[in-house]
Chain A
Amino acid sequence: MHIPDGILPITISAAGYATSGAATWYSLRKIGQKEDAQASIPKASLLTAVFFVASWIHIPVPPTSVHLVLNGLLGAVLGYYAFPAILIGLFFQAVMFQHGGLTTLGVNATMMGVPALLAFFVFRLRRVVGKDRRWGVGVFGFLAGATGLGVAALIAWGLLVATIPAHLDAEAERASIYALTLAHMPLIVLEGIFTALVALFLHRVKPELLKD
């Protein structure tokens, strides 16, 4: 789901930087309003590094294996720090592993980070059923994980369909993009289940990690 350099028109790359700039501004503003903003920076930084590393965990899906995006889980655990964390994680991935790219960093951050913020809001809805209810953590954990990847896949689909060059065979391109998006459906469910399992683990072992 990382869009590499050289694919998107520069207008889309610039728009990506504009939207990720706005999302970063919004997140930093919300973080700045917290009383213990500075105390949370080491926590958010180390958890950013964990999410970066945890995305290397491969889930066996024979005959292959998949790695998870974990942006929904990141939103559930980090809250408003989720967007800066994703921006930093994608920056590391672009410069260290050449996944994604620097010109597309804004687009990729928007694609992964905005759904992470949505996942945070979804996970926070568990207050409705009682914040400490185990089943609530599981259900809203699943919804947060599925929202994270699902919305990211929708944004990727929209971007790819909107940027098909006019001179190319648009029908064939569109069909392959639809197929690619549909292929994400089982992954969305898997991401939701994994997020729910991690949220339940944290709820049992270290519940303060899930406090808003």
Chain B
Amino acid sequence: MIDGLDRYACLDSSLHRWDPRCKFVGLIALMFAFSFVQDLRLLPAMLAVTSGLYAASRMPLAFLLTRLRTPAVFVVVVATLLPFISGTTVIARIGPLILRQEGTVAMALIVVKFISILTISLVLFGTAPFLTTIKALQALGLPPILGDMTLLAYRYLYEIGNDLETMERAMGLRGFRARRFSSHTLDVLASLAGTMLVRSYEQSERVYKAMTLRGYGHSPRPRAQFHRMVCIRAHFRDWAGLAGVFLVAASFVAMEIWLRGLGG
């Protein structure tokens, strides 16, 4: 049900070797810099940086395309609707349809920014095991409760997903088909959700007892219990990589401000 986001985390590339904390800070800064861009002239550079980063990650193109499949619906809707419904300056008439300049520009900006940010996010989370990235976030100061909740929720996500599949299959074998809307269907599906909550609640009590036996909760303050497991060291090349990505991000922001100044 949940396919591996970090299935290519074992590859060897400069991005895989990059300190996860520096990688997180640098690539998030780049995503926000991309988000700041409003000028069409910066889009080719944005695509070039994104392609360069993805190529440097050595992850296969098929992986990116698979990951883009679900959000592609959004891209298709924006690309087909926006140029025809938005704006006042007419570029061309195609039968009854009117292609408008403002809508086309907005479409190009939204689609390129969306694909670029999404690809960078894939590079960020695909080039290190997911748990390493979470531990890096803890090292960067993620509140202890959030860190522990994220790790535990991630640990049980797969298991609960499998439980749901099993329960739905069992309901199907007993003749339940959720094909029409009725109070009975709603009641059965609400019971399914309720049963999952009850089972997980009972499991959480066993999990807590097991964690307590292993020392969880023995620190005087509710600090991150998994924090001690974090052992990440940054070297000169990691800081140099971070400085390089900051420079690229700052260049996009500076160019955008400069181009706005020229336009305005």
Residue of A nearest to B168 (CB): A57
- C-alpha gap A91/B111 in the complex (Å): 21
Query: Is B88 an interface position by the 8 A CB rule?
Result: yes
**Cβ contacts B62-89/A at 8 Å (1 or 0 each):** 0000011011001000000000011110
Q: B194: which A residues are within 8 A, CB to CB? A: 197-198, 201-202, 205
Residue of A nearest to B218 (CB): A38
**Cβ contacts B126-148/A at 8 Å (1 or 0 each):** 00001000000000000101101
Name B117's contact: one of A6, A43, A62, A169 (CB within 8 Å). A6
Known: A38-B222, A45-B204, A168-B102. Contact between A52 and B157, CB under 8 A? yes
Q: B160: which A residues are within 8 A, CB to CB? A: 46, 49-50, 53
Q: Tell me the smallest distance from the CB of B218 to a CB of chain A, in Å.
A: 10
The interface-forming segment of B8-16, B51-59, B183-191, B234-242 is: B183-191
The interface-forming segment of A95-103, A110-118, A119-127, A146-154 is: A95-103
CB contacts under 8 Å to B, within A169-197, are 169, 172-173, 176, 193-194, 197
CB contacts under 8 Å to B, within A29-75, are 31-32, 37-39, 41-50, 52-54, 56-62, 65, 70, 73
Q: A47: which B residues are within 8 A, CB to CB? A: 197, 200-201, 204
* Number of interchain pairs (Cβ within 8 Å): 222
Residue of B nearest to A166 (CB): B102
Name B164's contact: one of A56, A59, A103 (CB within 8 Å). A56
Query: Is A22 an interface position by the 8 A CB rule?
Result: no
Q: Tell me the smallest distance from the CB of B231 to a CB of chain A, in Å.
A: 23
- C-alpha gap A205/B18 in the complex (Å): 50
Residue of A nearest to B130 (CB): A95
**Cβ contacts B99-131/A at 8 Å (1 or 0 each):** 000110010011111101110010001000010
A92 touches B153 (CB 8 A): yes
Q: A168: which B residues are within 8 A, CB to CB? A: 86-87, 102-103, 106
A31 touches B145 (CB 8 A): yes
B200 touches A50 (CB 8 A): yes
- C-alpha gap A28/B91 in the complex (Å): 53
Known: A101-B118, A168-B106. 7 other contacts (CB 8 A): A7-B114, A10-B36, A38-B216, A45-B148, A47-B197, A73-B193, A92-B157
